Structure 1
C-alpha cells in the first residue's frame, strides 16, 4: 500500500517505488495464557537468537517467576542481559540481576550450561574493574563445548574488548565465515521476502443471459414458424407424387441437421468475437489508474512476459504476439482480486503461472488467439454449405408443389413463416449459443481451477520449505557484520588492542525488499552498514552497502575525525515508525541517518504489536549502544572513554532522547 510518508533515501536522482513490505504469520513469539513456563523460556530463546534481547529478557524472567529454573535458563538470561550491549550500557538493575544469577549459578555441577555461565562471569570480571585474569578467562572460554562457546562469542561481542577481543577474534572470524553461506543461504533468502500467496481464484462464467420469458417467446415463435411449414408440407404431400414425398423427406431430414451446423458455426463466431473483445481488439482500452492495483498487476505481467520470452532474439515479436492475451489475463486477475485487500505481490505466483502457460501453449502449437481458439474448421463450413444447399433445394421444391395445390394458402403460410423466422432464428441461435457457452465455460473453469490450486499448493509448499527462520536471518546478518568489521579493521590497519569501543548501525538501503514475522523485527534485502571504531586518537567510520540476499558488500565511504570534531548527536522521532539519527561535525555538514522505519503494511497487526515494533527494530539494529557511544563522544569526547561510567537506571524500552 502506498503511504503519505513514503520517502527516498537512495542516491540523488534515483527513484524509489512504493515503500511496502511483507508480514508473515508466525507463532514463534506467541505465548498462550494457559501454556506452561517452558513455553515462556522457549519464546525467550527465540527472541535472543533472533536479535531482540529485551524481549528475550521479559520472557526469561517470566519463565523463572513461574518456577522454571535451571542452569540453561540462567545462562540464557545472562546472555540476554549482555547481548548487543557493552558493559557501560548496563544499568544498576542489570548488574544486580547479574549478581543474583552469579550466586544462583554456584554449584558443584559442571554441565555445559553451568560451565558456560561461569565463563560469562569470569569474562565480566576482566572488564568491570575486578582485574580478572584475561588469559585464564579466554582459556576457559576456548575449553567450553561449541554450543555454549559460540553463544558467548556472539552475544558478548560488545562486552569483549582490547586484548581479550584479540584473543578470541580468530574464532569469531572463522565462525562468521562458516555461517555466512550456511544452510543454503543464497538459494533461500529470497523466499523470506516473498509475499504470502493469495488463495487461488477463478472467474465464474458470465450468468446465463436467457430468461424464462425469452425461452417462452422462442417457443411461440418456433411454433409460429413451423406450423405454416407443416401446412405447406401437407399441401405438397396431397399431390401424391414420389417427387413431393422425396422433397418433403429431404427437407425434414436435412433441415434440422443444417440448423445444428449453422448454430455451431454461429456459436463459435460469437465466442470468437467475445474473446477478441476481451483481448482488446477493435477498441482502445484505457490505461489503469496510476498507482492502483490494476497498474501494479499490469507491471508484473509486462515484467514476466518479458522475462519468460522464448527467445531473446524475438522478444519484440513475442511482446507483440502476446499483447492481446496479456491484456485479457491482466483484466481477469484484476477482476477476481480487486477490492479484496490482496496486494499485487500476493498474486505474482499466479501471474508467473499464467505467463508460463501462454509460453507453453505457443511452444506446443496450441491456440492462443481468438480466431485460433474458436476457429471454424473447413470441414464444418463444407458440411454446413452442403446441408444448407440440399435443404434450400428441397424447401424450394416443397413450396413449388404446394403452390400448385393451394396457391393462396401456401403464399400466406410462406409469408407468415418468413416473418416469424425473422425473429425466431436469431433468438434460437442466441439461446443455443448461451447454453453451450455456459456449459463450456463451466467445464473450462473446473480445469483452470484445478490447475491453479495445484500451482498454489506447489508454490506455498516451496516457500514453506525454503523460507529461512528468524534465527538464520539474524545469524547471516551477524556474520556479514563481523566480516565487514574485519575488512574495516584491515583497511584502517588497526588491531583490537587499539580499539576502545566499537559499534554497528545497520539501516535499510532503499530501494529494497522488506519483510518480518508477526511481533518480530523487520528484515531487508539491502542494508547500509556503518561501523564506528573508537581508538585513543579519534573515531574511524566506514560505511558498506550490503546485498543481503547474496552476502556481497562494497565499502562506499570512510571517515576519520577527532573526538572534538563531533558537535552534536540528535535523534529525531518523526513518527512512531521513523527514527532519524543526526550527527553534526564542527567542520562539516550534518549527516542524517534513517535508523528505523517500518514499511507501510501493518494495518492488520494489533495495536500492541504496532507500538512495540519501533523498539524491536531499534534494538535489532543495536541502536542503543551506538547512540550511547556517539553521545559520549559528543558530550565529553576522549575523557568519556577513560573512566568507568555508571549509567543511570533506565527503562530500556523508552525511546532514546536527543543529545
Structure 2
C-alpha cells in the first residue's frame, strides 16, 4: 500500500465540511439478488442524478451480463453514453455501445422510449454530417428537430440535458428555445424552496431515555440499622429508668417517645428531602451539575464530539434567543447551567453510542426552544417554589413536644438510677438519631428521588418522542437525490442561456461549452448512500469556447432559491492556456488506486489559475458495505463536470487554436461509423417520408 499525490498537497485547500449521510435513502442501492428491472432503476437514478458514467457502467453490465433488452434500456443506455460528451470525444468502444443501443431499439419498434431513441439517432446522424462550414445538412437536421418537437416536454428536457455537449449550433438554439418555458417552470416545481433545505438535514437519531440510578444499598441500610439499634437501646434505657419509679411513668415515656419520634421523623425527613432536592436542582440550574442517572452504555465517543456538541447546543440557543437585543444578556446568563447540563446529557447519552453530532441537532433545538419558552413565561425556576419546604407543620411541632414531654417525665421520675440512665441514654439517643436520620433520609429520599426522577425523565422522553415524530414528519417530503440533480441541471441550463444572451451569443457561435461546479464557501452538504454530495450553494464556472477564444464566467448559485449572484467574467485566447490537470490524493493498494480528494486546475500563461475543488470524502461517513471512497471520488468528478471538461480542455491546452480545425477533422472521421437511420414504422406528426 502506497500513498500518492499528483501534485503537492499544498495545492489542495479543500475546506472541511460536516457531511450528512442519509442512510435511509435507497435509490442507489439494491439487494445482491435484485431483479434486473430493479438494477435498471438504480442505473436510471444515477443518470438522472447527474452521474452518467456510473449509469453507463451499470446499464452495460445489465445488457451484457443479464441480457436485458427493451426500448427503455436502449434509451437510457444512449443517454448514458452521450451525456457529458461531445461526439468527437467518444472512443471506439463508446461508439460501439451507441451502435448496439440503437440496434437494440430497432428490436422494439414502438412506444415512447423507441420514439425517443429514434429522435436521438436522427439528431446524432445529422450532427455527424457537418459540412465545411461546420453546420449539419438543413434537411436532415430539420427532420430530426421536427421529430424532437413532437416529444412530451419531460422527454425533450431530458434529452436536452444529457445531449448538451453533443448538440451544437442551430440544433441547440432550436431545442433551447423550444424548452425555455418548460425549464423556467420546472426549476421551481415540486415546492423546491421549501423542500430543498430538508435535504441537508440528517436522518435524526431516535431519543434515548434517561434512567434514574439508585444509591448503593449498603450506603442506605447500614447507618439506618446502626442508628436504629442505638435509638432502641437509648429508648429502652429511658423506659426502664422511668419504670423504677412508676409503671405509669414508663408507659407514658414509651408512648410519648413512639408518637413524638414518628411525627418528627415523618415530617422531618420530608423537609430534609425537599431541602436536598432544592439544592440539587439549584446546583443544576446554576452550574449544570446533573443528578446521577443510568445511560445507554458504550465507549464509542469520537474525537471532537464534545467540542462539536458544544457548538451545536450554542447554535440552538442562538436560534432560540429573544429577538430583543436588550434581553439577550439576561437570557444567556439565566440559561448557562441548563446549557451545560444539556451538553452533558447529549454527550453521555449519544456520544458513547457512536451517533454523529448532526443527527441530534434536532434534539438540541427542541430543548433550546423549550428552555427559551420557559424563560419567557417565567417558569424556568419553578423548582424553587415546588421544592421549598413549608413552615413547620403542627404535626412536626407536636412530635417535638411529645419528645420533650418524654424527657420531662423521666426528669420528674428522677432517682439515682434515673440520673445514671440519662447519662447513658443521652449519647445513645443523640448519635443514634444522627445515624438513623442519615440512613432514613437516604432510604426515604432515594425512593422519592427515584420516583420524581423517573416521572421527570419519562415526561422529558415523551416530549422528545413527540418532537422526534414531528421532525420525521417534517422530513417526510425531503427531495430525493434525483430531484436535486435535476434541479441543478435546470439551473445551469437556465443560467447558461442568460449568460449567452448577455454576451449576445447563440449556440451557433459556440464550438462547445463546459460547466463546472464546486461547493460554495460556508455551504452545507448532504448525500444519499451511494450518491454524490449535494450543496446548499455552489460556485459555478461556465466556459464558452468560440472561434475567437474562451469566455469564462463565475457565479454563486443559492440552491435553495435557484438565484445566481456575483458574476465575474474573464476572456482569454486559446494560446493563453498553459496547462490543465487534475490533482489527486489517495492510496494505491496493489494495482488499485483509491482517490480521496481531487482538484481540477486550469493554468493560464499569465500565472492565473482557475481551480475547481471536488468533494473530499477522506473524513466523511462512508457506508463500507455499500460504497467505496474511490467510487465516491468518481461520482464527485462526474457531478462537478470535471469528467467532461478535462478531455476538452486538455486538448485545447495541447493544440491551442489548432484545436478548432482538428476537432472538425475528428468529427468528420466519425461519419463512416454511422449507418443511415432505419425506416420508422411509426410516422411522426408533421414529418413526411
Which bracket does the TM-score occupy, shorter chain normalised?
0.7 to 0.9
Report SS of the residue matched to 2:452. helix
Find the counterpart in structure 2 of residue 224 from structure 1.
Answer: 230
Asked whether the 8 Å contact 2:576–2:606 carries over to 1, the reply is yes
Find the counterpart in structure 2 of residue 536 from structure 1.
Answer: 547
Asked whether the 8 Å contact 1:280–1:327 carries over to 2, the reply is no
Find the counterpart in structure 1 of residue 21 from structure 2.
Answer: 23
Find the counterpart in structure 2 of residue 418 from structure 1.
Answer: 430
Find the partner of 1:626 among 600, 625, 645.
645
Find the counterpart in structure 2 of residue 445 from structure 1.
Answer: 457
Query: Given the superposition, is the C-alpha separation of residues 389 and 493 from structure 1 closer, same or farther in structure 2, using an over 3 Å criterion?
Result: same
Query: Which runs of structure 2 are paired with 1:356-371 in the superposition (5 Å)?
Result: 356-368=369-381, 371=384
Find the counterpart in structure 2 of residue 13 from structure 1.
Answer: none
Query: Given the superposition, is the C-alpha separation of residues 306 and 246 from structure 1 closer, same or farther in structure 2, using an over 3 Å criterion?
Result: farther
Q: Distance in 1 between matches of 2:558 and 2:449?
A: 52
Shift of 1:42: 1.4
Find the counterpart in structure 1 of residue 439 from structure 2.
Answer: 427
Asked whether the 8 Å contact 2:288–2:336 carries over to 1, the reply is no
Q: Distance in 1 between matches of 2:386 and 2:374?
A: 11
Find the counterpart in structure 1 of residue 271 from structure 2.
Answer: 265
Q: Distance in 1 between matches of 2:612 and 2:641?
A: 14
Find the counterpart in structure 2 of residue 122 from structure 1.
Answer: 122
Asked whether the 8 Å contact 2:550–2:573 carries over to 1, the reply is yes
Find the counterpart in structure 2 of residue 504 from structure 1.
Answer: 515
Find the counterpart in structure 1 of residue 560 from structure 2.
Answer: 549
Find the counterpart in structure 1 of residue 533 from structure 2.
Answer: 522
Shift of 1:537: 0.6
Find the partner of 2:144 among 107, 112, 137.
137
Find the counterpart in structure 1 of residue 6 from structure 2.
Answer: none
Find the counterpart in structure 1 of residue 3 from structure 2.
Answer: none
Asked whether the 8 Å contact 1:84–1:158 carries over to 2, the reply is yes
Query: Given the superposition, is the C-alpha separation of residues 47 and 418 from structure 1 closer, same or farther in structure 2, using an over 3 Å criterion?
Result: same
Q: Distance in 1 between matches of 2:536 and 2:413?
A: 86
Shift of 1:535: 0.9
Q: Distance in 1 between matches of 2:383 and 2:488?
A: 52
Asked whether the 8 Å contact 2:260–2:401 carries over to 1, the reply is yes
Are 2:313 and 1:301 aligned?
A: yes
Q: Distance in 1 between matches of 2:36 and 2:261?
A: 84
Find the counterpart in structure 1 of residue 83 from structure 2.
Answer: 83
Query: Given the superposition, is the C-alpha separation of residues 607 and 468 from structure 1 closer, same or farther in structure 2, using an over 3 Å criterion?
Result: closer
Q: Distance in 2 between matches of 1:631 and 1:68?
A: 36
Shift of 1:136: 2.0
Asked whether the 8 Å contact 1:349–1:459 carries over to 2, the reply is yes
Q: Distance in 1 between matches of 2:382 and 2:341?
A: 11
Query: Given the superposition, is the C-alpha separation of residues 299 and 106 from structure 1 closer, same or farther in structure 2, using an over 3 Å criterion?
Result: closer
1:504-547: CA deviation from partner (whole Å, max 9, x where unpaired): 00111222211111111111112110000011111000001112
Structure 1 spans left out of the alignment, 5+ residues: 11-15, 284-288, 650-659
Shift of 1:412: 2.4
Report SS of the residue matched to 2:628. helix
Asked whether the 8 Å contact 1:306–1:319 carries over to 2, the reply is no
Asked whether the 8 Å contact 1:530–1:541 carries over to 2, the reply is yes
Find the counterpart in structure 2 of residue 286 from structure 1.
Answer: none
Find the counterpart in structure 1 of residue 59 from structure 2.
Answer: 60
Query: Given the superposition, is the C-alpha separation of residues 551 and 598 from structure 1 closer, same or farther in structure 2, using an over 3 Å criterion?
Result: farther
Report SS of the residue matched to 1:338. helix
Asked whether the 8 Å contact 1:358–1:368 carries over to 2, the reply is no
Report SS of the residue matched to 2:193. coil
Query: Given the superposition, is the C-alpha separation of residues 468 and 128 from structure 1 closer, same or farther in structure 2, using an over 3 Å criterion?
Result: same
Asked whether the 8 Å contact 1:505–1:621 carries over to 2, the reply is yes
Report SS of the residue matched to 1:572. strand
Q: Distance in 1 between matches of 2:10 and 2:422?
A: 81
Query: Given the superposition, is the C-alpha separation of residues 107 and 408 from structure 1 closer, same or farther in structure 2, using an over 3 Å criterion?
Result: closer
Q: Distance in 2 between matches of 1:197 and 1:383?
A: 54
Q: Distance in 1 between matches of 2:332 and 2:302?
A: 22
1:304-329: CA deviation from partner (whole Å, max 9, x where unpaired): 22321245241111111111212122
Find the counterpart in structure 1 of residue 155 from structure 2.
Answer: 148
Asked whether the 8 Å contact 2:287–2:336 carries over to 1, the reply is no
Q: Distance in 2 between matches of 1:108 and 1:279?
A: 74
Find the counterpart in structure 1 of residue 363 from structure 2.
Answer: 350
Find the counterpart in structure 2 of residue 334 from structure 1.
Answer: 347
Shift of 1:46: 1.2
Find the counterpart in structure 1 of residue 406 from structure 2.
Answer: 395
Asked whether the 8 Å contact 1:233–1:402 carries over to 2, the reply is no
Are 2:84 and 1:71 aligned?
A: no
Shift of 1:252: 2.9
Asked whether the 8 Å contact 1:539–1:560 carries over to 2, the reply is yes
Q: Distance in 2 between matches of 1:6 and 1:462?
A: 43
1:188-228: CA deviation from partner (whole Å, max 9, x where unpaired): 112211122223113332332331x7514522420221232
Find the counterpart in structure 1 of residue 187 from structure 2.
Answer: 180
Query: Which runs of structure 2 are paired with 1:7-46 in the superposition (5 Å)?
Result: 18-25=16-23, 26-46=25-45
Are 2:664 and 1:644 aligned?
A: yes
Query: Given the superposition, is the C-alpha separation of residues 7 and 326 from structure 1 closer, same or farther in structure 2, using an over 3 Å criterion?
Result: farther
The more displaced of 241-250 and 139-148 is: 241-250
Find the counterpart in structure 1 of residue 46 from structure 2.
Answer: 47
Query: Given the superposition, is the C-alpha separation of residues 344 and 232 from structure 1 closer, same or farther in structure 2, using an over 3 Å criterion?
Result: same
Report SS of the residue matched to 1:438. helix
Find the counterpart in structure 1 of residue 304 from structure 2.
Answer: 292
Find the counterpart in structure 1 of residue 100 from structure 2.
Answer: 100
Q: Distance in 2 between matches of 1:399 and 1:359?
A: 60
Find the partner of 1:319 among 321, 332, 339.
332
Report SS of the residue matched to 2:194. coil
Report SS of the residue matched to 1:549. coil
Shift of 1:612: 0.8
Query: Given the superposition, is the C-alpha separation of residues 480 and 136 from structure 1 closer, same or farther in structure 2, using an over 3 Å criterion?
Result: same
Q: Distance in 1 between matches of 2:603 and 2:259?
A: 98
Are 2:629 and 1:610 aligned?
A: yes
Find the counterpart in structure 1 of residue 686 from structure 2.
Answer: none
Query: Given the superposition, is the C-alpha separation of residues 295 and 280 from structure 1 closer, same or farther in structure 2, using an over 3 Å criterion?
Result: farther
Query: Given the superposition, is the C-alpha separation of residues 384 and 358 from structure 1 closer, same or farther in structure 2, using an over 3 Å criterion?
Result: farther
The more displaced of 335-344 and 588-597 is: 588-597
Q: Distance in 2 between matches of 1:603 and 1:540?
A: 38
Q: Distance in 2 between matches of 1:159 and 1:518?
A: 30
Query: Given the superposition, is the C-alpha separation of residues 415 and 572 from structure 1 closer, same or farther in structure 2, using an over 3 Å criterion?
Result: closer
The more displaced of 314-323 and 339-348 is: 339-348
Q: Distance in 1 between matches of 2:410 and 2:372?
A: 56
Q: Distance in 2 between matches of 1:126 and 1:175?
A: 25
Q: Distance in 1 between matches of 2:333 and 2:658?
A: 71
Q: Distance in 2 between matches of 1:225 and 1:332?
A: 42
Report SS of the residue matched to 1:540. strand
Shift of 1:302: 2.0
Find the counterpart in structure 1 of residue 169 from structure 2.
Answer: 162
Q: Distance in 2 between matches of 1:460 and 1:103?
A: 47
Q: Distance in 2 between matches of 1:507 and 1:331?
A: 37
Q: Distance in 2 between matches of 1:6 and 1:265?
A: 68
Q: Distance in 2 between matches of 1:324 and 1:69?
A: 66
Are 2:569 and 1:558 aligned?
A: yes
Shift of 1:249: 4.2
